[in-house]
Structure 1
Amino acid sequence: MSAPSSTIATLHSVAELRAQVRRWRAAGERVALVPTMGALHVGHVALMEAARKQAERIIVSIFVNPTQFAPTEDLSRYPRTLAADLEKASGAGVDAAFVPDVAEMYPDGFATTISLTGPALGLETDFRPTHFAGVATVVAKLLLQAAPDVALFGEKDYQQLQVVTRMARDLDIPVAILGVPTVREADGLALSSRNVYLSPEDRAAAPALHRALAKAAADIRDGRDVDASVEEARQSVVAAGFALDYLEARHAATLAPLAARSEGPIRLLIAARIGTTRLIDNLAV
């Protein structure tokens, strides 16, 4: 909606964030929020570019949220590249980066989380039971702290997108939630901050996830049985060297299980591990 800014403000407190947003509001400007955990890549830049079409002012939040990591997960290993992140965000025309610390987001005595059902049931929560409670809580806080007109999320984390969309609707948070298509490497691998963990051998095998989804989606569109198409895709992923957590066909809006093509729009979703890295992906049918 406007030309990109050449400078970026770095805000560390909710008070600073709200003061900045008030100034933009007083000037009659729309505000977009892009929530991230940092380690920004081309996929994040695509979110920022999409945000530019929605609002005059863009905020990127950079916060590695501890409440969405289980004790056995990679919180300490998650890449933290703040200086590079700020440079990328500034280059993409972002106006402000909200970079709170853990104490700012979860002050002493913090005791509230959001309880979820609906699209949060199954898939990721079968393997990471507390994950979406942490995601929903921090996203709700960011939406209330920044009070943007629109918040943008990547479709790579498709279940997260549906959970956040449902949460904002159910809690009457007056922010439009917008999904942005997954950005991929030339060989189909979905961009992710965790891709840096892949060894050269694992990186060479990683595109098998997208190939399996693409073939299953094409088979289902051609009229093949959903269960048979999904099972063949599972076998191809395992044959490529992955340990499969899940590969499922779900209703694209509700993420409810389904079997027949006629039951609604379908989304294929996958999570699988290779080496030390867990990858997720999804594809519309």
Structure 2
Amino acid sequence: MTKTPLRRWAIAVLPSAAAVLAAAGCPAPPPRGTSSAVQTTATTRATTTPVVAPKVELLEPEILHEYPHDRQAHTQGVEMFDGVLLESTGQVGRSSLRATEMTTGRVLRQIDVPEPLYAMGITVVPDVGVWQLTWRDGVAMLRDPRTLAEIRRVRYGGQGWGACFDGTRLITSDGMDRLIVRNPRTFDRTGEIRVTHPGSNRVGELNELECAGNTLWANVWLHDQVLRIDLPTGKVTAVADVRRLKKIERPTGAEDVLNGIAALPGTDEFLLTGKHFGQTFHIRWKAKENR
């Protein structure tokens, strides 16, 4: 912030005014021609407070456990519900919603998504159901989280990528630098949140989402990063480097990337997996080590 300097008064004042100033103990104005750099007694210097961007934390996953995961699954989103890991898989003709056992990867229930739909992210809204998005089909399916049966469909504009529920709002992504806010019961769009990195740089290609209170975690498509986003402001507050998981997985395809984030209720721990990953990683975030 810049303070406005006090107005410089003209030096050509009447002698009586100068005398009054002297009598009051105030210094007389500097002689005509005096450099403004030395007029420190007659003016207040302008000061500028630099704008300091909030510090972004650098994180990485601390792996607590590794669980088996189906390498055939083109994972588009995961979420914990009642002790079961729900997983949405994509691709036309191979899309599904499945309920799996967290520690073994065993499929407990599965329902296929009919062609030509390409399934994407999911999220559970308590007492409503589980919303499952589609990529470019403009269709969202509401399902029973226990049976996985379809309850109804709604249409929406644009693409569908990731989804999460923050306790009051349904939030979805479409691969751009925004989060779309929706009514959790009707799927109607009610607003949006622009996502920025300190310095006001916009952040795009937000994919799989996971809400945890006022914080949202999002992976960036085709990047080995997970972002922590402050929902009230849309600002990125942390960047997590997940390259370590890629080294363990050794993916063979260009799209075999991280694409599943699920918070474990009542803890500060998460499950991370991805497209054609052989493992689901049970992790806790920690400060990134300098290597």
Which protein is richer in strand relative to its size?
Answer: 2
TM-score, normalising length: structure 1: 0.24
Higher radius of gyration, 1 or 2: 2
TM-score, normalising length: structure 2: 0.23
Which protein is richer in helix relative to its size?
Answer: 1
